[in-house]
Structure 1
Amino acid sequence: MTNPNQEHNVSVPKLNPPELLKRTEPINDTWLQIIGVPLAVMPFVLFYLHEYGYKWRLFAQTFSWGIVSTAVTWQVLRWWVMRVRQWYADRTQFRQRLLMTFGGYLLFTIPLQLAETWTVSQLDLTGLIAPPEFPRVYLIHLVMALLFAFVVGVIYESMYYLEKNREAILEAESLKKVALQSQYDTLKNQVNPHFLFNSLNSLSSLITEDKKLAGEFLDELASVYRYLLQEADREVTSLRSEVNFIHSYLFLIQKRFGPAISYTIQIDDPWLDTLLPPLTLQTLVENAIRYNVILPEKPLWLNIHTTDQGQLQVVNPIQRKPLRVTATPIGLGTLTDRFRRLGLPALVISDDGEEFRVTVPLIRR
């Protein structure tokens, strides 16, 4: 027989982020170009100096020409990188993006480098450069150009992959926070409508019967909703805050049920500054109330206490309601999922047939 005290886990609906328009973010590669262009030029300059003599005029000419031509080639290849990223923007399209990127490097670099090798000898102002020997000089220049293009391409792809990976992590964290906030809002709504309605009915009766008690009731009701507002944006809160809140909450519950419900709270001082998710105690108390018979002749008692191992326990006798509870199971299952999504140790739920016990791990600051 299924224990009505123990709810099934509630799966959080999958949140699909809005589809992003395909766009290419600007590449932040200024420093890469400032350092990379001169580095790419130097092997060619050294080649010419080795071939035709170590002359300052030759160095100045080949270095200047190399800076201009390499910068132009770099911009062509950079444009190609941006285009490929538009076509294969997803992090999972790594293979397609890699093949297209480096295939384009081959197609662009080969004709550009061959043309540059020929042009340098034709525009020689020093008179030192002979027409390039075919195919030796052309092949040496081509291998150097392709090697450097591929090295820079690997750097670009690594930067892009790391950026996409970072975005994926941030998106996952964002979805996790949205899911947790959705669960927390559900818990707050669980407290808000029905609880408020019942509390206002109780307050209405007390106003005519006992104005002093009605004032106390109103103060505790304000404390409950003040706590909800204060803890709305927090993932965890102190056990001290939770205990203060549950005192107010149980005060209101007890005025509703009268002697049909009683409770004890025994929290050792060393654990008051430990942490747990907000509304943990309210969820466990509400779970006990929802699934158990509460009558003056069969009262329900709740025992909330800490253990020597730094755990919080909420215990109640099992007094199953004879009828199937149709309320949506949003309490204990949601709380279990919240602990899991926050990366906290799991709740321990036990049922020996007589007592239902939930053990909550407390987090040290």
Structure 2
Amino acid sequence: MKSSIDTRLRLIGPPILFVCGTLFFRLNTLVVFDYTDLYRYDLVGLLAGYVNWHVARWVLLSLQKRYPGIDRTRVRLVIYGLALPLLVLNGTLLRTQPLYWLGLDPSPEAPFQQYVLTAGIQLFHHCIYLGVYESIYLFGQWQLLYTEKERLLKAEWQARFDAMKSQVNPHFLFNALNSLSALIDESPVQAGRFVDELAQVYRYLLQANDRELITLDSELRFIQSYTHLLQTRHGSGITVHIDVDDQYRHYSLPPLTLQLLMENAVKHNTTTARQPLTVEIRTTENGRLQVCNNIQRKKSLVLSNGVGLRNIAAKYQLLTQATIGIDENNNSFTVTLPLLGVAD
């Protein structure tokens, strides 16, 4: 809660609530008005109202801090409900005891009825406290969720745009056509297979672009075609090992996730026969997918803004609120991905 709103509530809330309580429960004091009530009765009530407001505020803010979020609203309400009898008793005593101590009992002929009426007013007040502070808190939480969703949607559309750009990346197409040109004269059979794999890659890119999730099995078949194109260009400078448990192949992940990770590995590491790049795609015992490559940084400076990894993380957050794991040491770079439910 913004401090300015909180300050205004603490200053003007108790007087407004006191006036409302008077209109609802003590209208007779306005009909038979006595100026001595201003210091004998109303002043005590207003001071007690300030104290009760701050006590209830402290309890509610403590609960919001201890059990934050919209999903824990029920927990906060239950705990506040359990504490309500004590809060009402405390408010009632603060409202009535000073009058008894000062000999200003407003209704000495019916103390029990006066106590019950005051307790009812305090219950009404605490419901108002709860409504005010919880409403402001939930509205703030909704704004945060809305802002976060908007940010993730923007990141998702940016990711789709970047993925679309990479699909028609002239650099990738230029390298592929150069490799094909060299193969046509050297090995027509291999050139034919290269064309088939290139067609498979672009067919998958066109199909996957409109989908939010794709099965791991489909993504792995695509990676095999994509790997063939890379190996045609880099030869023995790149090796891909796939060790995926069959039980996880029907699980899902955002499309082109593995391609982005492969592209990232090739971009930042050398891929020569003397220093081959090895990429391992494997599943863990707890059903997560890991993509790991050895680190052998290129000597020339490679510009990196981390867009690929951020796009993958944004896709997972937008779809399932799941997070990816990134682990880097001197020898390897590993990305751990959650596997999701079955794709439609």
TM-score range for the pair, normalised by the shorter chain length: 0.5 to 0.7
Query: Residue by residue, what CA displacement relative to the aligned partner does 1:123-161 show, whole Å, maximum 9, x if unpaired?
Result: xxxxxxxxxxxxxxxxxxxxxxxxxxxxxxxxxxxxxxx
1:354 to 324, 331, 336: 331
1:192 to 168, 190, 214: 168
Structure 1 residue 302 corresponds to structure 2 residue 283: no
Residue 234 of structure 1, CA deviation: 1.1
Residue 276 of structure 1, CA deviation: 0.5
Structure 2 Cα separation of the partners of residues 306 and 344 of structure 1: 21
Are the aligned partners of 2:290 and 2:334 in contact in 1 as well (CA < 8 Å)? Answer: yes
Structure 2 Cα separation of the partners of residues 277 and 326 of structure 1: 25
Structure 1 residue 323 corresponds to structure 2 residue 300: yes
Structure 1 residue 206 corresponds to structure 2 residue 211: no
- The structure whose RCO (Cα within 8 Å, separation 6+) is larger is 1
Residue 170 of structure 1, CA deviation: 9.5
Query: Residue by residue, what CA displacement relative to the aligned partner does 1:299-319 show, whole Å, maximum 9, x if unpaired?
Result: 111111111211111111111
Are the aligned partners of 1:304 and 1:313 in contact in 2 as well (CA < 8 Å)? Answer: yes
Match of 2:341 in 1: 364
2:210 to 210, 217, 233: 233
Are the aligned partners of 1:187 and 1:331 in contact in 2 as well (CA < 8 Å)? Answer: no
* Equivalent pairs, count: 201
Residue 293 of structure 1, CA deviation: 1.6
Q: Structure 2 unaligned runs (5+)?
A: 1-141
TM-score by length of 2: 0.54
| More deviation, 181-190/314-323 | 181-190
Residue 231 of structure 1, CA deviation: 1.1
Q: Structure 1 unaligned runs (5+)?
A: 1-165
Secondary structure in 2 aligned to 1:331? Answer: helix
TM-score by length of 1: 0.51
Secondary structure in 2 aligned to 1:350? Answer: strand
Structure 2 Cα separation of the partners of residues 174 and 232 of structure 1: 21
Higher helix share: 2
| More deviation, 178-187/213-222 | 178-187
Secondary structure in 2 aligned to 1:360? Answer: strand
Structure 2 Cα separation of the partners of residues 202 and 355 of structure 1: 29
Structure showing greater radius of gyration is: 1
Residue 260 of structure 1, CA deviation: 0.8
1:277 to 230, 235, 254: 254
Residue 178 of structure 1, CA deviation: 5.4
Structure 2 Cα separation of the partners of residues 332 and 220 of structure 1: 26
Structure 1 Cα separation of the partners of residues 176 and 304 of structure 2: 19
CA RMSD after TM alignment = 2.6
Structure 1 Cα separation of the partners of residues 304 and 151 of structure 2: 27
Match of 1:314 in 2: 291
Structure 1 residue 216 corresponds to structure 2 residue 193: yes
Please tell me the residue identity of whatever aligns with 2:215: S
Residue 333 of structure 1, CA deviation: 2.3
